[in-house]
Amino acid sequence: MEGKVLFSKYELEKLLGEGNFGKVYKAKNLTTLEIVAIKMINKDEVKKHGMIEQVKKEIQVMSHVKHPNIIELKEVMATKTKIYLVLEYVGGGDLYTKIVENGKFDENLARKIFQQLIIALDFCHYHGVCHRDLKLENVLMDSNGEDLKICDFGLATFLGGHEQNYDFEDVLLYTACGAIAYMAPEIIRGDRYDGKKCDIWSCGVILYTLLVGYPPFQDESRTRMLWKIRVGKFDFPLGFSKEVEDLIKKILVPNPSERIVMLDIMQHPWFTKGLNRSCENDYSNLFCSSPISSFNAFDFVSSMGSGLDLSGLFESTHKRKLSSLFVSKCSTKEVVKKVEIMAKELKYEARKEKESRVVLRGEVGRRGRLVVVVEVFRVSSEVNIIEFTKRVGDSIEYLKFMEEEVRPAMKDVVWKWQGEWSIVKKNSGGNVISFPKWKWC
């Protein structure tokens, strides 16, 4: 693959890593000379394992969370057979390789890594995202050897706001990935679980491994290893500071309701030592982009169009466009029905393009007919986001239509309108982005 040029834009360099559904290559953007990492996902493999939804979720989650300690997803491209995630490149290797090559970390460096891990994870949880696959291999270090980036949101999910049932397939997947060592006891027990608490458990396993050089729960017999995790049986070798021992003991608690929560970890005396307060999460300076952008890309990612370059679409969604959003707790079917009833009353023609998309056409106006696309995006088991976008027609007529007709007509299915839940900010590139004020969970 080395030297191969993708989409006349990226030249592939060396192989960085290999995962379940494809490979990750270092690559160079031939125009900007920027070095990136390209994760290639084989569509057939993904389909064979019924994981297409999960890949969509990976893209959705990664485009949703932007944080200095989380790998940035720069663009998504696809061909008939592959999906390409263009990621920020991180040059220092993953923590697993570091431990294998150099052994355990000293306590101060372990603390610095753990602080960043917790701060990034807290950001994810705040925005309703659970990683669900935190392990040494998925934590990368910058070339300075001190700054951390979380990668691989391939198992991540948006929180539905409630405890979730672990699917059998999830367990199989974890087993296949060999991540049992990081798996929380409630998952192993097959209990209902809270993704945030499972992530915290995995961070405890990571911290222990960084300090000791091997994981807390291991055994030649898989059954005994699972038993050790279930009952939380592990030992501290000599030489641990009492403070970190106390913190790990509070994290690796088998009963999730007795396990330490994020806020208490962040206030623990071992954690706070040397912490530069400015690097803690100031959520107002970071942003969580609107999930809509990724959803638009999804349709194309999952479509089998050949040689399709999604980059334009993906990026253009960050630009200002005439659209309005609202959040609904009603099902897709209920929302679409309501849109159709509204159209009938307003004498708009309504054409359903698919189960979640309706195109509305009005009377001829100042610039021809007003054509508005209504699209419903499922973001969790309970929440839908509905986007109205002007496709054709006069902008003033569109705004009037939204304000005077749509708002009153849709009020029964609306939970929150866009203006009530987002503040508009400009990011460093001057593009307008929205920052949800409310939590997903």
Give the footprint of ligand ATP on this chain (CB under 6 A). 16-17, 19-21, 24, 37, 39, 71, 87-90, 94, 137-138, 140, 151-152, 154, 177
* Tokens of residue 280, six digits: 């803690």
What residue 379 binds from Mg ion, ligand ATP, none (CB within 5 to 8 A, per partner kind)? none
Bridge partner residues of 165 (DSSP):
192
User: Min. distance of Cβ 93 from ligand ATP in angstroms?
Assistant: 7
User: Min. distance of Cβ 305 from ligand ATP in angstroms?
Assistant: 23
Q: Which of 55, 252 has the CB closer to ligand ATP?
A: 55
User: Min. distance of Cβ 182 from Mg ion in angstroms?
Assistant: 12
Footprint of Mg ion on 386-415 (CB under 5 A) = none
Q: How many CB atoms neighbour CB 300 within 10 A?
A: 18
| 8 A C-beta contact, residue 80 and residue 306 | yes
Bridge partner residues of 66 (DSSP):
287
What residue 67 binds from Mg ion, ligand ATP, none (CB within 5 to 8 A, per partner kind)? none
Ramachandran quadrant class, 22 (left: phi over 0; alpha: psi -120 to 50; beta: rest)? left
For position 94 contacting Mg ion by CB under 5 A, the verdict is no
Q: Which of 93, 161 has the CB closer to Mg ion?
A: 93
- Token match 């109205």: residue? 388
What residue 142 binds from Mg ion, ligand ATP, none (CB within 5 to 8 A, per partner kind)? none
Bridge partner residues of 73 (DSSP):
87
Best CA proximity match to 152, nearest among 172, 131, 168: 131
Bridge partner residues of 102 (DSSP):
none
Q: Which residue out of 133, 194, 199, 309 is catalytically annotated?
A: 133
Write out the DSSP string of 178-207: T-GGG--HHHHTT-EE-HHHHHHHHHHHHH
Handedness of CA 312, 318, 321, 325 (dihedral sign): positive
| 8 A C-beta contact, residue 292 and residue 387 | yes
> How far is residue 83's CA from residue 100's CA, in Å, rounded to a whole number?
31
Bridge partner residues of 74 (DSSP):
none
> How far is residue 248's CA from residue 253's CA, in Å, rounded to a whole number?
9
**Which parts of 18-128 fold into alpha helices (H)?**
43-48, 52-64, 95-102, 107-126
User: Min. distance of Cβ 150 from ligand ATP in angstroms?
Assistant: 10
| 8 A C-beta contact, residue 257 and residue 268 | no
Q: Which of 152, 194 has the CB closer to Mg ion?
A: 152
User: Min. distance of Cβ 133 from ligand ATP in angstroms?
Assistant: 6
| 58, 122, 152, 186: residue in contact with Mg ion (rule CB under 5 A) | 152
User: Min. distance of Cβ 137 from ligand ATP in angstroms?
Assistant: 4
Q: Which of 137, 186 has the CB closer to ligand ATP?
A: 137
Pick the stretch among 63-71, 83-91, 134-142, 390-398 that binds Mg ion (CB under 5 A). Answer: 134-142
Bridge partner residues of 78 (DSSP):
83
Closest CB to ligand ATP: residue number: 19
What residue 62 binds from Mg ion, ligand ATP, none (CB within 5 to 8 A, per partner kind)? none
Residues contacting Mg ion: total by CB under 5 A: 2
Q: Which of 18, 258 has the CB closer to Mg ion?
A: 18
Judge whether 133 counts as a catalytic residue: yes
Q: Which of 54, 323 has the CB closer to Mg ion?
A: 54
What residue 310 binds from Mg ion, ligand ATP, none (CB within 5 to 8 A, per partner kind)? none
What residue 433 binds from Mg ion, ligand ATP, none (CB within 5 to 8 A, per partner kind)? none
Best CA proximity match to 177, nearest among 25, 54, 26, 53: 54
Residues designated catalytic: 133
* Chain contacts with Mg ion (rule: CB under 5 A): 138, 152
